[in-house]
Amino acid sequence: MLTWSAATDVGRLRDRNEDAYAIFQLPPPVGGHVFVVADGMGGRRAGHVASRLAVGALRAHLTRWSLRAAETPAPEVAVAALAAGVRAAHRSLLDYVQRYPECSGMGTTLTAVRVTPTQYQYAHVGDSRLYLLRQGALRQLSRDHALVADLLRSGQITEQQARQHPQRHVLTQALGQEGDVEVDGGAGFIDAGDWLILCTDGLTSVLTDAELEARAAEARGDPAQWLVELANRRGGPDNITVIVIRPGGPAAAGRTAAQGGGPA
């Protein structure tokens, strides 16, 4: 049994939700559910268009791949297919800007995970995140493609300095930027009681990993909506999108979409 909860919100300070998300099931023989979040950039240069286009292009690519597949894919094959879908989404944005040059400068993050009852595979570009919560311990699976994240990984700054850094929103990779993108990906097995959490930086900019680990355990009812509301109580400086996936979890988890954004 696979249950999930999803919510998106414009936040307290923005006037438009540039996030997008999607949840869809792949046809056999591939199967599994795919969960996607995207955080558009560009403001008046159509960041909201970028996120929705990217999510739609990824979904179309994966659906075509599923219909052509001859057998259930091995994990590494599924990771490669997800990564190819992310690159297809990147090309779709570049093509769009060619047709509509007034949208030049738009871009988006994109993080996608395919989940079956026993496994997950993911592909990722940008600083939206995928976490695994296992036995109360939170681990970030995705790797932020951001200037501050690079400085933190190299030991040049501390985590506290990273959270206050004036360039903390500068990405080193995003879909829609000129040139190619390097897509990260990975796979793993699912244990009973695991949670997978997908989110944009509207959540992680106001909650540290330690806080998210502690507060996720407190969530009741609809955990994604609960986390969105928590981010808004912290000031909601950005759009917020959260998907909480519970393979084999309680049937109480639902599907919701708050104001703005919504499923692409």
Q: What is the DSSP string of 171-182?
A: BS--BTSSS--P
Going from N- to C-terminal start, the domains of the chain cover 2-247
Dump pLDDT digits (tens) for 98-124: 999 999 999 999 999 999 999 999 999
Lowest mean pLDDT among 128-142, 212-226, 250-264: 250-264
Q: Looking at domain 2-247, which of 2.70.98.30, 3.60.40.10, 3.20.20.80, 3.40.50.300 is its CATH number? A: 3.60.40.10
* Sign of the Cα pseudo-torsion (68, 56, 130, 27, in order): negative
**Ramachandran category for residue 214: left, alpha or beta (phi over 0 → left; psi -120 to 50 → alpha):** alpha
pTM: 0.90
Dump pLDDT digits (tens) for 220-260: 789 999 999 999 999 999 999 999 999 865 433 333 333 34
Residue 49 has pLDDT above 60, yes or no: yes
Q: How far apart are CA 36 and CA 31, in angstroms?
A: 16
